[in-house]
C-alpha cells in the first residue's frame, strides 16, 4: 500500500500535515504524537521581526469550532531559526515554514533568511493585512496575489505554497492569480472572518471585534473551495478546514487535495494528526486501494 504523496517535488510519507498556528512547531505535541509519523509539520507563521499579537481576549468558542484573533504573535525569524528548526530536524518528517508579513519586503526578508535552512517548503500566508494598501489582505485582491507570489518566488530557494484566504467572492480567481505568479502549490482554506458578541457584557467576545473562524463548522465551505480550485488550476493542493477525523480528510482528498492539514482538531484532541494518518490507511485497506493517488480528485 502506498501513502506517499508529492508536493512540488517534495515527497511526504503520507498526506497528513498540521495547519499553521495550531501545532506550534510541534514541541508540545511531540509528547502525544511521534512527529516522524506525519508527512510534514507546518509551523506557526513567522515574520522578519517579533510580533506581539493582538490584545486579549483573542479566542472564543463557537458552534462547531472557534474564532481567533491571535494576530500572528511570533518570536521573529531569528529565534525561530535557532530554536524551532533544530527541534524539528530531530524527526523524520518534512518541514513547512509558514511565513507572514505586512509588506512585500517583510515576506522577502523571511524567505531569504530561510534560503540556507534545512526547510522543505515555504507556505506563504497572504491573509495578512497589506499595510501599504490600506490594510486589505494581500489574498483578497488578485493583482496583489499575483504580485506577492512572483516576488516571493523570485527570492525563495524552496518551493512555495500560497495559502489562500476564503474571504473572497471567487476563490478560483485567487488560485489562478497565484498560479500565474509562479506558485508551486496552494493551500486552503485559511480562517473565515467571523464575529461573536457577549450579550452579558454587551461587547465583542474578542478584543479585535472580528476573528478567524475555524473547526468542523467550516468544513463544507473548505471542501467546496478545494474542489473548485482543483478544477481551476494544475497545482497540487493542501486542503484544510475543520478536519477532525480521517473521514473528513478523505473528503478533501477525493475533492482534489494531494495532502491535508489538521488544525483546530489538535486543541480538542492532541492525537488527531496520528489518528488521521491511521484512519486513512484503514480506509485504504478496507476498500483495497493500493495507492493513495487513486483517491486524489477521484470525485468529479
Ligand atoms: C489559533 C489559530 C492560529 C492560526 N495561525 C495561523 C498562522 O499563523 N498562519 C496561517 O497561515 N494560518 C493560521 N491559522 C489558520 C489554520 O492554519 C487553518 O488554515 C484554519 O484554522 C482552518 O483549519 P482548521 O479548521 O482545521 O483549524 C490559525 C488558526 C487558528 C485556529
Which residues are known catalytic residues?
128
What is the Cα gyration radius of the chain? Answer: 18
Q: What are phi and psi of 261, to 5 degrees?
A: -125, 140
Q: Whose CA is nearest to atom 5 of ligand 1?
A: 21
> What residues does ligand 1 touch, defined as CB less than 6 Å away?
19-22, 44-45, 68, 70, 72, 98, 125, 163, 190-191, 214-215, 218, 240-243, 263-265
Query: To test ligand 1's pocket by mutation, which of 163, 212, 252, 267 has the most ligand atoms within 8 angstroms of CB?
Result: 212
Strand partners, 97: 122
Query: To test ligand 1's pocket by mutation, which of 46, 110, 214, 225 has the most ligand atoms within 8 angstroms of CB?
Result: 214
User: Which residue has cell 498560479?
Assistant: 179
Query: To test ligand 1's pocket by mutation, which of 16, 17, 22, 44 has the most ligand atoms within 8 angstroms of CB?
Result: 22
Instruction: Report how far ligand 1's centroid is from the alpha carbon of 282 (Å).
Output: 27
Asked if 256 and 217 count as a contact pair (C-beta separation under 8 A), the reply is: no
Ligand 1: atom nearest CA of 189 is 19
The half-sphere exposure of 249 on its side-chain side, counting CA atoms within 13 A, is 31
Instruction: Report how far ligand 1's centroid is from the alpha carbon of 298 (Å).
Output: 27
Q: Whose CA is nearest to atom 28 of ligand 1?
A: 21
DSSP 136: -
**Counts for the chain of helices (H) and strands (E), in that order:** 9, 16
**pLDDT value for 132:** 86
Instruction: Report how far ligand 1's centroid is from the alpha carbon of 125 (Å).
Output: 10
CA angle 275, 280, 281 (to 5 degrees): 100
**pTM greater than the 0.85 cutoff:** yes
Q: Whose CA is nearest to atom 11 of ligand 1?
A: 125
**pLDDT value for 129:** 83
DSSP 51: B
**pLDDT value for 22:** 97
Q: What are phi and psi of 179, to 5 degrees?
A: -65, -45
Q: Whose CA is nearest to atom 22 of ligand 1?
A: 241
Instruction: Report how far ligand 1's centroid is from the alpha carbon of 6 (Å).
Output: 23
- Cβ contacts of 260 within 8 Å, gap of 6 or more: 15, 16, 17, 238, 239, 240, 243, 249, 252, 253, 276
Tens-of-pLDDT digits for all 300 residues of the chain? 999 999 999 999 999 999 999 999 999 999 999 999 999 999 999 999 999 999 999 999 999 999 999 999 999 999 999 999 999 999 999 999 999 999 999 999 999 999 999 999 999 999 988 888 888 899 999 999 999 999 999 999 999 999 999 999 999 999 999 999 999 999 999 999 999 999 999 999 999 999 999 999 999 999 999 999 999 999 999 999 999 999 999 999 999 999 999 999 999 999 999 999 999 999 999 999 999 999 999 999
User: From CA 26, how far away is CA 170, in angstroms rounded?
Assistant: 33
What the block records as the C-alpha cell of 281 is 490507511
CA-wise closest residue to 8 among 160, 190, 232, 176: 160
**pLDDT value for 248:** 98
**pLDDT value for 130:** 85
Long-range contacts, 169-175 (Cβ 8 Å, 24+): 171/225, 171/228, 171/229, 172/228, 172/229, 172/231, 172/232, 172/233, 173/142, 174/139, 174/142, 174/145, 175/229, 175/232, 175/233, 175/235
Instruction: Report how far ligand 1's centroid is from the alpha carbon of 22 (Å).
Output: 6
DSSP 75: -
Pairing label, strands 237-240, 185-188: parallel
Ligand 1: atom nearest CA of 264 is 27
Ligand 1: atom nearest CA of 222 is 22
Amino acid at each position: 500500500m502506498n501513502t506517499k504523496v508529492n508536493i512540488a517535488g517534495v515527497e511526504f510519507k503520507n498526506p497528513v500535515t498540521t495547519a499553521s498556528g495550531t501545532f506550534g512547531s510541534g514541541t508540545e505535541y511531540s509528547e502525544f504524537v511521534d512527529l516522524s509519523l506525519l508527512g510534514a509539520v507546518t509551523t506557526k507563521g513567522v515574520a522578519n521581526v517579533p510580533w506581539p499579537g493582538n490584545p486579549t481576549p483573542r479566542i472564543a468558542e463557537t458552534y462547531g469550532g472557534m474564532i481567533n484573533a491571535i494576530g500572528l504573535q511570533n518570536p521573529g525569524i531569528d529565534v525561530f531559526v535557532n530554536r524551532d528548526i533544530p527541534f524539528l530536524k530531530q524527526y523524520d518528517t518534512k518541514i513547512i515554514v509558514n511565513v507572514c508579513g505586512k509588506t512585500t519586503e517583510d515576506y522577502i526578508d523571511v524567505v531569504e533568511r530561510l534560503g540556507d535552512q534545512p526547510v522543505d517548503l515555504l507556505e506563504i500566508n497572504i491573509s495578512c493585512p497589506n499595510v501599504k494598501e490600506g490594510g486589505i489582505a494581500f489574498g483578497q485582491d488578485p493583482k496583489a496575489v499575483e504580485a506577492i507570489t512572483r516576488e516571493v518566488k523570485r527570492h525563495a530557494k524552496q518551493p512555495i505554497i500560497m495559502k489562500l484566504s476564503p474571504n473572497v467572492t471567487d476563490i478560483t480567481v485567487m488560485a489562478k492569480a497565484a498560479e500565474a505568479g509562479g506558485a508551486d502549490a496552494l493551500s486552503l482554506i485559511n480562517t473565515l472572518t467571523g464575529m461573536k458578541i457577549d450579550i452579558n457584557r454587551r461587547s465583542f467576545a474578542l478584543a479585535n471585534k472580528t476573528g478567524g473562524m475555524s473547526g468542523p463548522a467550516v468544513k463544507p465551505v473548505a471542501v467546496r473551495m478545494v474542489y473548485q480550485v482543483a478544477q481551476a488550476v494544475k497545482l497540487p493542493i493542501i486542503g484544510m478546514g475543520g478536519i477532525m477525523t480521517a473521514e473528513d480528510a478523505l473528503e478533501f482528498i477525493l475533492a482534489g487535495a494531494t495532502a491535508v492539514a489538521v488544525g483546530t482538531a489538535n486543541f480538542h484532541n492532541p492525537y488527531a494528526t496520528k489518528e488521521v494518518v491511521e484512519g486513512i490507511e484503514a480506509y485504504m485497506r478496507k476498500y483495497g486501494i493500493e495507492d493513495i493517488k487513486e483517491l486524489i480528485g477521484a470525485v468529479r
